[in-house]
Structure 1
Amino acid sequence: MTDFWFYLKEGINHILDLDGLDHFYFIISFCLLFSLKDWKKIVGLVTAFTLGHCITLFLSGLELVRINADTVELLIPITILLSCLNNFYVLLKDKQTKQQLVITYIILLVFGLIHGLGFSNYIKMMMFDGESIVLPLLGFNIGIELAQLVIVTGLLIFISTLQIIVKSHIKWVRFGVNAIIFLLVLRMIFE
């Protein structure tokens, strides 16, 4: 059971590591359009993402799916760019329809599949030869989710507070933050 706790901590550290800003950018990109009152929608979005990356974490961890690590590392920032493009579309349209929300759920499920491949490459590097993949993947995955939920909760509180302060200008604050993330991730891809 100590292995489980080790990998749980590794999952938390992997998300909270400031060298991996792509995690923060991605979480911000899919939470940016919501506030604390939308917590049920966010739980659904996080669940869709979690489902996607659980599937590929286990498939990749069991060596049933293999994708070149460099390809995955390129696809991850592309998912963030696509999330930002989705945000621009919703912000310019000035409302999020139920159809657009369903599209966002599907996007996060697919992105979860891609991000899970990245997580599995990371965890495979940490494992010892012959070590069972199940417990490490479970601990690592739960650690990732706990860290993401902490970030999402803090972000939703921040956005809700900001919404009270800037009131009707929140759309443009969201647009600006989205543009900054878009440019940072674009730079990340070219580097």
Structure 2
Amino acid sequence: MSDFFFYLGLGWNHIINFDALDHQLFILALAAVYTFANVRQVLILVTAFTIGHSLTLALSVFDIIRFSSKWVEFLIPCTIFITALNNLFRIDKRGGSIRLNYFLALGFGLIHGMGFANAVRIMLARDQRMGWGLFGFNIGLELGQIAVVALILILAGIFLNYVRVARKDWIFFISSGVFALALKMAAERLP
């Protein structure tokens, strides 16, 4: 069980850590169009991301698939700016296209999962139970994402309800900022 808790903490830190800006920006881009009224949809969306992330992480750790880390590190910010751009194009639609957002989260989760695979593959020794380690990591990842989403929704609630920022302006501000940061990250990571 100690392996489980070790990897749970590792998954939590994978999202909460200050070095996890790319994952935090992706979650911010996903959640920017939602409010607490949509909390169920946002949690399903984050879970779709975790499923995609978990699938490629497991396939990579078990050495079924491998991708160049340079390309993965480049593609991760690309997924972020595409998600932010989607928000900007759909700014007038309440909640955006729910189905499209689920596919973005699941599909882009596949790419993000490869980003941490090399580190996890090295940490998981052959004599450990890989399944428990992966399970713990993914539970920690999900809990970390829920914490980030909660913070985003709280901030959205404050700005939309108390500061009285228009919803369109909130989405535009958040998505534009995320787009710009992700575009810069992608340019810096170009293979």
TM-score (norm 1): 0.91
- How many residue pairs get matched? 188
Matches of 1:19 and 1:28, distance apart in 2: 15
Could you give the per-residue CA deviations for residues 72-116 of structure 1, whole angstroms, max 9, x where no partner exists? Answer: 11111110011011101111xx11478x21111111110111111
Compute the displacement of 1:173 (Å): 2.5
Q: Which runs of 5+ in 1 are unaligned?
A: none
Is the 2:88–2:171 contact (alpha carbons within 8 Å) kept by the matching residues of 1?
A: no
Match of 2:131 among 129, 134, 140: 134
SS in structure 2 at match of 1:63? coil
Q: Which runs of 5+ in 2 are unaligned?
A: none
Matches of 1:103 and 1:173, distance apart in 2: 20
Equivalent residues in 2 for 1:69-148 (5 A)?
69-91=69-91, 94-96=92-94, 100-148=97-145
Residue identity opposite 1:173 in structure 2: W
Could you give the per-residue CA deviations for residues 113-165 of structure 1, whole angstroms, max 9, x where no partner exists? Answer: 11111132231232335444212111111111111111111211211121112
Compute the displacement of 1:12 (Å): 0.8
Equivalent residues in 2 for 1:43-62 (5 A)?
43-62=43-62
User: Over aligned residues, Cα RMSD in angstroms?
Assistant: 1.7
Matches of 2:51 and 2:156, distance apart in 1: 26
Compute the displacement of 1:168 (Å): 5.8
Residue identity opposite 1:79 in structure 2: T
The 1:154–1:97 alpha-carbon spacing in structure 2 relative to 1, beyond 3 Å, is closer
Q: Which has the higher helix share?
A: 1
Could you give the per-residue CA deviations for residues 45-97 of structure 1, whole angstroms, max 9, x where no partner exists? Answer: 11211221121121111111111111111111110011011101111xx1147
TM-score (norm 2): 0.91
